[in-house]
Amino acid sequence: MTAAGSMRRITGRLRGRRADRAVHGAKTLIAALFAWGVVAPWAAESRPYVAVATAVLMVNASTVYRSVTKAAQNVAARVAGLVLALAAARLLGPTAGAVAVIAVVAVLAGPRRTAEDRLQIASTAVVALAATAADPVGGLVSSVLQTLAGAAVGIAVNALVLPPLYLDESGSAVRGLARSMGALLHDMGAGLSGRRLTSDARDWLRQARDLDERLTRAEEQVRQADESLRWNTRCVVRARRKGVTFHDRDTFTALRGVSIQVRGIARTLADNAHDDHTDHHLGSRFLDEYAETLRLAGAAVGAFTEPGPADGSSDTFPRERLRGAIDGARVWHDTMTGMIARGALTRPGAWHVYGSLMTDAERLLADLDRANPH
């Protein structure tokens, strides 16, 4: 990629982030003002702070679906906290003893789903302790109603005012993962050709293990993109969901399988590079053949995430390039398999290494080949 192209990508991302922040801030302001306007006329002493806080929390949820689930959890936790505060105030009054009881009951005997729920119950109960002691029923009902109203306002604003989508982030994460795998395969191929196995093998293994972190990030982005389309008013068309998130999810699934083989190849090469048994070392002819296989496999993985042609378009270059790279790698694979069968590789002590490397290459190409038609 040229320097100008890289700068355009960086500038585009910065502009996109600024626009996202502007939208985010505008939605937060709308939700806060709307909640205040709805709840202030009937809130006690015209102080709808609980409603405003709840609305701001809901509108800042990462997706519309998440805002709904968070609202349900928030309302349940707040009701539990208020009931706990009412019980403590009735038994002990607004004293330090009541606070201690709230902390013990909420943290130790609360719901077991997450620590966040238990802490929210405890904090809500402590804050509401004085109010429920002064006006038990009125304070409880007002807080619950404010929470419900604020949650409804936050969800409505999040769902109707440019609801968040994460399709670009998902596609970028999957493409970045494929590029990293392709680059590592190509680097291993170049290293074998240059006879840098001993010096570079451990670094290849480290890079292969680092793919786990990228896999985790990509999986989270794909999951978030899929979730962002649930109940999203910007994506009513079902085809868009299939065309974007299904593609990213299927591509990620294939790449996750490929990563296992890439890690296996790097591990085998690293073990062989530092094997004290000289008869286990790989022969020069095998290294040359396998280097070409890795370079072609790297090209295939790199081309795997290129977008296919639009419907009705005759431009099939990305798919043809992937198909050509896979076919080329298979030719080398068949050549080496025949060499091993004929005994042309004259290091019998290394046959188990040959077998491991060839098996990983075959599985890698099979994963790409199965996923390519889809």
Lowest mean pLDDT among 12-21, 89-98, 150-159, 204-213: 12-21
Burial 34-56 (b: 16+ CB within 10 A, else e): bbbebbeeebeeeebebbbbbbb
Over residues 231-251, the mean pLDDT reads: 65
Average pLDDT, whole number, for the chain? 77
Please, which contacts does 122-125 make with residues 24 or more away whose CB atoms are closer than 8 Å? 122/81, 123/81, 124/77, 124/78, 124/80, 124/81, 124/82, 124/85, 125/81, 125/82, 125/84, 125/85, 125/88
Pairwise CA distance, residues 366 & 374, whole Å: 14
Domain chopping of the chain, boundaries = 19-160, 167-371
Lowest mean pLDDT among 49-58, 264-273, 318-327: 318-327
Express each pLDDT in 259-314 by its tens digit.
999 999 999 999 888 876 655 677 787 788 788 888 888 888 888 777 654 444 44
For 164-196, give the DSSP string.
Answer: ---HHHHHHHHHHHHHHHHHHHHHHHHHHHTT-
- Tell me which of 1.20.58, 3.40.1000, 3.30.70, 1.10.12 is the CATH number of domain 167-371: 1.20.58
Express each pLDDT in 149-192 by its tens digit.
999 999 999 998 888 888 888 888 999 999 999 999 999 999 99
Express each pLDDT in 251-260 by its tens digit.
898 899 999 9
Ranges 5-9, 111-115, 190-194, 330-334, most confident: 190-194
